[in-house]
Structure 1
């Protein structure tokens, strides 16, 4: 099955403007829900508030409309974190096999202010996030009109709508920086000047989002959000108290990070109303606030039974190395596993379904199926990010041959996760389990539920490039995001979709470790890092650095542990859409995202020729411009109270 580019003719950018949005009548024409427009179910096609909030059933449909605005973060064409940075690359140009080219254009430095890519401010993927916020406001303003709604259900629904409203503000804030706050819908009879809103200071936006999440998470299980979903057949994917608290932690860690805390790059950035939109003064209390939020979320997760995932199987016997590999892969891909804090289910079949098709290459030489694209290709810099088997960076391990990492070696029976007798570069030897769990490459193996497969991707081999599409441009494949239950034949592919992990416990542990370290308490951060490492088959930070690193005391200082935490986070959260945002909030993007993109010489057929580095692209991250999206020029013309982001 091909993803035809004609899709874009029907679901491309639909122009929208802020003021036009705010002047819409209270009933939103053409809102797309998960299945169809809500208005399709209104009697006689007459949409009125009396119809929408006539009873519990109709009101719940409207609540689901609020959910429908959540972006599809599990789709690599709809989440900038997948394909908008340097974590995965692809062949270019693409003439098919895509929904949107927007993230790929962002990665290649083509963002613009005339018609911005992935423009969730106006409309992208049939989603205008401001319209989603307006929908939440309509729900909150009218839920009291539902006569047959039990009080505890009403309180829960109000909490859900408040959280979604907060999350949509958060999504826009992360993309655009200081944004307007739309807490209430102005009446349509209001003075037109009311609709010409101003951008609010970054700290004010963060405080508003945090306050709204606090309101959503308040109360006990009988007066607001549940701690866990008990109706698993009908409610999985809906917001829980734990999910709300974890997202608040993420918001506050971001707000405490260098991009928003003591950032002089935006020191003179003001609104039309002369408000300073960024506070250039560093505030250590932001990290304390973030650490407290993380701890509250972790405690709530523990009380709800969330814990780090460990693989177990009753129908397939696996060795210890494979168990560790599946600890890592199935923490993402096993549906509703006990590490998942919030899994996104809206249109899930269309999100992780395509993600897996994009990621999985031809792994079976006896069954070639062109539905498997294998095009979501990590560059060589991602392969170099992972630790050695000793749990330290490859350039720091005094026992690992860093200088000869690009020289060929032959795989022996002592080398796990690779094909005995095969030749590949030293970079692929004696690496940590997450390297082999996340990545596949020429000479590696790929474990699936129905067997273990060999990856052979030199020119004309079954996994490699054979035509102008459906191949890895770097020679690496993103194994981590492919569910081990995927099976295929020459004529059919069966993919088990899974809820995309917007937040999982491992992510929350890493956020807490980061916040603890930044508050001057590196020793308290180590246990959370070490739990992540133990699950991945590694020894503690203390043991690994003391024994193998050329800088054995690195973890004992805040600055040293900061580097360790950031690399640990880069490895553990690889290919989950986190790196794109982390590099920005840490303000390391100008260096990291301007580094060249390298791959292997995939059109070659011999070991020697294939295993040569090839420069694919040299991106350029322009600071401070590229930290945030531009606001579309026409929006600024319609509402002169908005100001453009610096550099655009």
Structure 2
């Protein structure tokens, strides 16, 4: 099997992987496993690592190597541990998120733990910062840049721990190997202290990072000022959100010495700080040329409908495009694309490389707006009650639904992102070299072929599949890989609109930025859509109503990218959404009248304690100052 030739885009730290792994072994060989922040007793090895620039660079890449493999379903809980996707049976790599999605996370069996790996990362970042000054064959300007990169990484690893575990110990400095046992036992600290620490560290990092990557042949994937400012905005919006800001659930959650770890009183000022951080990030990003992506590939002529689809799809799948603030290349998208992509070509049905087994749930299909730009249950022109009734596509729908094909009414008169993001029975699916259509009822070419590894809901994720993938005659699957979209400008625009609304209610500046995202999606402004088509025409005029609009806009625009999992948590809406049944069509039926029956696949359960991961008993035993996560 092949993957695309992206060698010219491969960041330098990935090309040094063998040296990187050797460095990891040297650094970690004698590390003390008991404590989070003790320098390994291998001073000679560390000194050697910082004698020359080439060796120090390997250590820099060691610090980068801990970045999450975000496209790997086995290591990123935001993909399969929530409610966006469902599977018939997980692969071994998908087993842990599958167990979390089914509610089986426990203090005895902790799936997808982020604790140890990120504290190892922090230890290595601190080693780097403590020793980089020793390197003799480097200019100070280059040292300053590397220091800023590692400070960003240090902030980011704290951020991963914070959003996963809530209050955590801050590891600002490594302790000496001569430290007493008592000094190594570090308690959790108040979440506000952790947020402030991360924010300050990101400010410090941003000051030393380059505006853009000048050497794109070797340094794509390295940190920039835009990344640092955008992640700071995300961090501060989270700090201001209901999970962390005035959450009464954690009023009694304290350290063993009685110090609280959450403030139960809501602080409106946090939204002001968050809005300012968002605006600063937007201003800087736009000043260096970051802008919403629109499709315009040379030599390719498409209709307006398909051009808009490509603008929406390629905003995530075209790596290093103009909208990307941060593409994370520390991951491969080969497997996830293969598991999302259906068998498109009836001439290649014998090829088992594509499965379509990672299936969007029906709640995701119903989440997208109508073509009038409002929710399907609000649009007074759209028949919500009869959305499962059958309807036959006419010539007018030809580029979206196969002409003459019978499918559910749910699939008609929907917004462009619905057709750009989802495949379904009867849908058209444009690839670079050919237009395909989906026929997925029993006995058709995208139907079940095996006992397992089949689509279980009737929906396929088109959005995260590159349009350049193909199966050439006589060959295996060709996958055009891309660096994972950790942060793009549309995300930042919507964070800003949210922060402004929470700060002082609906206002023109907030409408301006949400409407930028809607315009790229081919939708009217919020005011126009709700005034003319919604059963709640004044919804956008109140803080509560506009909040619902902004939240749904985020869930649609960032669908399937891993944002929903964390957004539901920070909004404290996981209790609502992850206690709903997971549903899909009756995919084993051949008759449309039976296929288009909604069936329940699983009934999820979510409790207050599930907002944060539990700690392993081993960590609690080795550090008696650590309290267990709330509810566990």
Fold match by TM threshold 0.5: yes
The answer for the alignment partner of 1:584 in structure 2 is: 569
* In 2: Cα distance, 1:225 partner to 1:26 partner: 32
Write the distance in 2 (CA, Å) between the matches of 1:493 and 1:305.
Answer: 35
Task: Say which SS state the counterpart of residue 346 (structure 2) adopts.
Answer: coil
* Match of residue 554 from structure 2: 569
Cα displacement (A) at 1:373: 2.1
Farther-moved stretch of structure 1 (308-317 vs 139-148):
308-317
1:32 is matched with none
Q: Deviations over 1:427-479 (max 9, x none)?
A: 10000000010000000011010111011111121111121123211010010
Please state how far the C-alpha of 1:50 moved relative to its aligned partner: 2.4
* Deviation for aligned residue 1:153: 0.3
Cα distance in 2 for residues equivalent to 1:578 and 1:468: 31
2:259 is aligned to: 275
| Corresponding residue number in structure 1 for 2:40 | 25
**CA distance, structure 1, for counterparts of residue 550 and residue 389 of structure 2:** 30
**Which of structure 1's runs of 4+ aligned residues deviate more than 6 A?**
none
Q: Which residue of 1 aligns with 2:363?
A: 381
Q: Where does 1:306-325 land on structure 2 (aligned, <5 Å)?
A: 306-325=290-309
1:17 and 1:638 in contact (8 A); partners too: no
Paired residue secondary structure (2:93): coil
- In structure 2, distance between residues paired with 1:193 and 1:375: 50
1:478-517 to 2 correspondence within 5 Å? 478-489=461-472, 491-517=475-501
CA distance in 2, matches of 1:297, 1:609: 51
Which segments of 5 or more consecutive residues in structure 2 lack a partner in the other structure?
Answer: 3-30
Q: Which residue of 2 aligns with 1:354?
A: 335
Other-structure match for 2:8? none
Tell me, yes or no, if structure 1 residue 419 matches structure 2 residue 402: yes
Counterpart secondary structure, 1:366: helix
After superposition, the C-alpha distances for 1:363-404 in whole angstroms (9 at most, x for unaligned) are 100012211121110111000000000000000000000111
SS in 2 for 1:481: coil
Q: Secondary structure at the match of 2:395?
A: coil
**Secondary structure, counterpart of 1:614 in structure 2:** strand
- The counterpart of 1:606, out of the listed 591, 598, 622, is 591
Aligned partners of 2:505 and 2:542 also within 8 Å = no
Residue number among 440, 444, 449 corresponding to 1:457 in the alignment: 440
Relative to 1, partners in 2 of residues 1:212 and 1:432: Cα closer, same or farther, differing over 3 Å?
Answer: same
Structure 1 residue 52 displacement after superposition: 0.2
**Pairwise CA distance, 1:115:** 3.0
1:238 is matched with 222
2:568 corresponds to 1:553 = no
- For residues 41 and 306 of structure 2, the distance between their equivalents in structure 1, rounded to whole angstroms, comes to 55
Is the CA contact 2:319–2:482 (under 8 Å) kept in the aligned structure 1?
A: yes
Q: How many residues align?
A: 600
Is residue 456–residue 587 contact of structure 2 (8 Å, CA) maintained in 1? yes
1:609, 1:508 → 2: CA distance? 43
**How far apart are the structure 1 equivalents of 2:87 and 2:137?**
53
Distance 2:164 2:443 in 1: 42
C-alpha contact 2:340 2:461 (8 A) present in aligned 1: yes
Per mean C-alpha deviation after superposition, the further-off stretch among 516-525 and 160-169 is 516-525
| Alpha-carbon distance in structure 1 between the residues aligned to 2:489 and 2:277 | 14
Q: 1:300-326, CA deviations, whole angstroms, 9 ceiling, x for partnerless residues?
A: 101110000000122222100001111
Distance 2:159 2:32 in 1: 20
Q: Could you tell me whether the CA contact under 8 Å between 2:39 and 2:176 is conserved in 1?
A: no
Query: Which residue of 583, 589, 611 maps to 1:627?
Result: 611
Secondary structure in 2 matching 1:599: strand
**What root-mean-square deviation, in Å, do the aligned CA atoms of Structure 1 and Structure 2 show?**
1.5
Aligned mate of 1:402, from 374, 379, 384: 384
> Deviations for 1:225-283, whole angstroms, at most 9, x for unmatched residues?
10110100100001000000000000000000000001000011001222100000000
- Name the CA distance, whole Å, in 2 between partners of 1:451 and 1:545: 37
Separation of aligned partners in 2, 1:193 and 1:613:
58
Q: Would you say 1:55 and 2:38 are equivalent positions?
A: no
Q: Which of 68, 73, 76 is 2:70 aligned to?
A: 73
8 Å contact from structure 2 (residues 73, 93) kept in 1? no
Equivalent pair of 1:555/1:564 in contact (CA under 8 Å): yes
- 1:129-149: per-residue Cα shift (whole Å, max 9, x none)? 100000000000000000011
Q: Please give the alpha-carbon distance, in whole angstroms, between the structure 2 residues aligned to 1:576 and 1:274.
A: 39
Aligned to 1:392: 374
Secondary structure at 1:487 match in 2: coil
SS for the counterpart of 1:400 is: coil
Distance 2:243 2:375 in 1: 26
SS state at 2:86 partner? coil
Partner of 2:139: 150
Show the counterpart of 2:503.
519
Question: Is the CA contact (8 Å cut-off) linking 1:198 and 1:273 kept in structure 2?
Answer: no
1:343 is paired with a residue whose SS is strand
Shift of residue 27, structure 1, vs aligned partner = 4.7
Q: Which residue of 2 aligns with 1:445?
A: 428
What aligned pairs does 1:296-335 form with structure 2 within 5 A after superposition? 296-335=280-319
Q: Deviations over 1:510-557 (max 9, x none)?
A: 000000000114222101010000000101001111110011111111
Aligned to 1:160: 149
Distance 1:141 1:102 in 2: 36
Query: Residue 536 of structure 1 aligns with which residue?
Result: 521
Which stretch shows the higher mean deviation, 376-385 or 309-318?
A: 309-318
Q: Is the 8 A contact 1:17 1:635 kept in 2?
A: no
Using the TM superposition, give the Cα deviation of residue 26 of structure 1 relative to its aligned residue in structure 2, in angstroms.
Answer: 5.0
Q: Equivalents in 2 of 1:26, 1:573: separation in Å?
A: 45
